[in-house]
Amino acid sequence: MPKYKTLLLILFGSFIWSLTMVKSGLIYSYGIGFWGPNGHDGIWHLSLITGLARGSFGMPIFAGELIKNYHIGFDLLVAVLHLISDLPVSFLYFQILPPLLALGVGWSVMGFLKAWKKDDRAIRWGLFFTYFGGSFGWLVSLIRNGQTGGESMFWSQQSISTLLNPPFALSLIIVFFSLTSLLKYQRHPTKTAWLISVILFGFLLEIKVYAGILALGSLLVISVYEFLTEKKTGLLRIFLGSLVISLIIFLPFNRNSQSLIVLRPGWFLETMLIYSDRFYWPRLYHTIVDSRQLHNWPKSLLGYFLALFIFLIGNLGTRVLALIAVIKNRKPDIVSLFIYSFIFGGLLLPMLFLQKGTPWNTIQFFYYSQIFLGILAALFISGLFGRLNHHKYFRYAIWLLIIIVTIPTTLDTLDHYLPSRPPAMISKDELQALNKLASLPPGNVFTYPIQPDAYYPPPRPLYYYDSTAYVSAYSGHPVFMEDTVNLNITGFDWPRRQAQSEEFIAMQNINQAREFLHQNRIKYIYLALVAKYRPFLTASQLGGKIIFENSQASIWQVDTN
């Protein structure tokens, strides 16, 4: 059993993490509330999970097509849990799984550090950085405008936001359990340890593709290192077994995923300097870009290195102490080499590549670098405090300084999740309509793609908040087209369908409109804001009828035969 200080830290960290999730998805006086990115990302996962729970691998936000270019491991797991427990998908996603995932991350970090270093102080500091690691964005904001803030000023999200990306949280658990298993295999190379390592590493790519790529790359590095230095092939067998499992699971849904990645070196550094909601140093940006255009490569490269330094120090915050640990470690063991490879890959890949549709998605590689640098920072602090055993008050002063400088990011971000009024919602009237739609027999749904309205006072209805997957998420039916953000990410040709949707709404020719419904096998038309967004033709003209209507939404059932 862990010591009580370690256990309390895991419990407290899990509680703090869970605050970003557990209020979302519940019914309040105004309807269902959603805080932070839960109003988009959370809804996307609800849509996927609901569809998978029906036994369908169809794309729920692009009816008639299969899911592609997305890692569905987490969503498939939640769908299975839903079928086993019969608990509502939303309740599982927002209320049940977040604290469990948070506890799992803490437990796996503790188990790994215990197996690797057997250092209680390092375990506690490793847990501290895992749960509370933050950037120096708050310090820059304080100097510039007298207020704290700026969690992602240097582009990367910090520890407090981990559960907002549940596949990321689950991947961390698997990564640390995989490392623990790898460590056991190194010490006692049994077939059981080999098999567990292969399975854990092999499934990682489908849980979170960024973690899978980094893990396989790091496995390859240590495999080659072990073979060259010791002429052993044990790690190589783990790598090859993991690679085979990864490809078998990953390729069916991601055959063309490489086409979504584009080479664009330095984009995160440039935008960090020029975007006003990031670090914003336009003078350095123009120096870099102008020098590059004039082929003054030494000056341009010097500017990029300065921007990279700002990116690293700014994102790492107090975890920058890890760099000292790396420099001082002259003879890294296999696990250290694996971690160094993970960190280097997590930094290098977003510096070189972007993702089509949503370019900043590749910053998620760096999330793993931050986590492991937090682990290395913990080892450095533990060693430092060990040398300061006879300087009690000086040690306490350093302890207090690290905590004070680290936690402002966590405290500031929590301010976005604690207020009673959320930024997004589903009204009670619209929820009534969605529940009615969910009770109807399976069928494709057409819904008009309403444009978001940033000026609508919060809590904004989801159709005004962003392009989301809320109709498929809460009705359980595949939708002709919604959530253009994730359609961009996964590489679907959504502009064509959006144009068709707009044409259908304005159609005056009954035969053409019925043909559109027939070709796309549309069985239901769901209209939010029915008083404002209604097709030119009536339900009866389209060969159907209105089966539900209130002040917020209307459901038409049409005959597509």
> Does 343 have pLDDT greater than 90?
yes
Instruction: Calculate mean pLDDT across residues 481-504.
Output: 92
Query: How confident is the model at residue 356, as a pLDDT?
Result: 79
> Does 515 have pLDDT greater than 90?
yes
Q: Could you tell me the pLDDT band of residue 454, with boundaries at 50, 70 and 90?
A: confident
Closest to 60 (Cα-Cα) out of 478, 482, 490: 478
Query: How confident is the model at residue 474, as a pLDDT?
Result: 96
Query: How confident is the model at residue 498, as a pLDDT?
Result: 93
Query: How confident is the model at residue 326, as a pLDDT?
Result: 86
User: d(Cα 492, Cα 485) in Å, to the nearest integer?
Assistant: 10
Delimit the domains of the chain by residue range. Answer: 4-39+70-414, 427-558
What letter represents residue 189's amino acid?
P
pLDDT per position as a tens digit, 139-169: 999 999 888 888 999 999 999 999 999 999 9
Q: Are 113 and 119 in contact (CB under 8 A)?
A: yes
Average pLDDT, the chain: 92
Query: How confident is the model at residue 258, as a pLDDT?
Result: 62
Sheet hosting strand 27-28, strand order edge to edge: 27-28, 31-34, 424-427, 460-461
Q: Could you tell me the pLDDT band of residue 1, with boundaries at 50, 70 and 90?
A: low
User: d(Cα 10, Cα 441) in Å, to the nearest integer?
Assistant: 45
Closest to 91 (Cα-Cα) out of 478, 428, 474: 474
C-alpha Rg value of the chain to the nearest Å: 25
Q: Which helix (H) or strand (E) holds 290?
A: helix 282-293
Say whether the peptide bond before residue 459 is cis (omega within 30 degrees of 0): yes
Query: How confident is the model at residue 560, as a pLDDT?
Result: 67
Closest to 472 (Cα-Cα) out of 56, 34, 37: 56
The winner for highest mean pLDDT among 98-102, 201-205, 415-419 is: 98-102
> Does 182 have pLDDT greater than 90?
yes
> Does 429 have pLDDT greater than 70?
yes
User: d(Cα 106, Cα 403) in Å, to the nearest integer?
Assistant: 18
Query: How confident is the model at residue 4, as a pLDDT?
Result: 84
| pLDDT above 90 coverage of the chain, percent | 76
Query: How confident is the model at residue 273, as a pLDDT?
Result: 96
Query: How confident is the model at residue 453, as a pLDDT?
Result: 87
Phi, psi of 373 (to 5 degrees): -65, -30
| pLDDT above 70 coverage of the chain, percent | 98
Query: How confident is the model at residue 257, as a pLDDT?
Result: 60
pLDDT per position as a tens digit, 240-269: 999 999 999 887 776 666 667 889 999 999
Strands 31-34, 424-427: pairing is antiparallel
Distances (CA, A) of 479 to 70, 245, 347, 520: 18, 32, 38, 10
> Does 380 have pLDDT greater than 60?
yes
pTM: 0.93
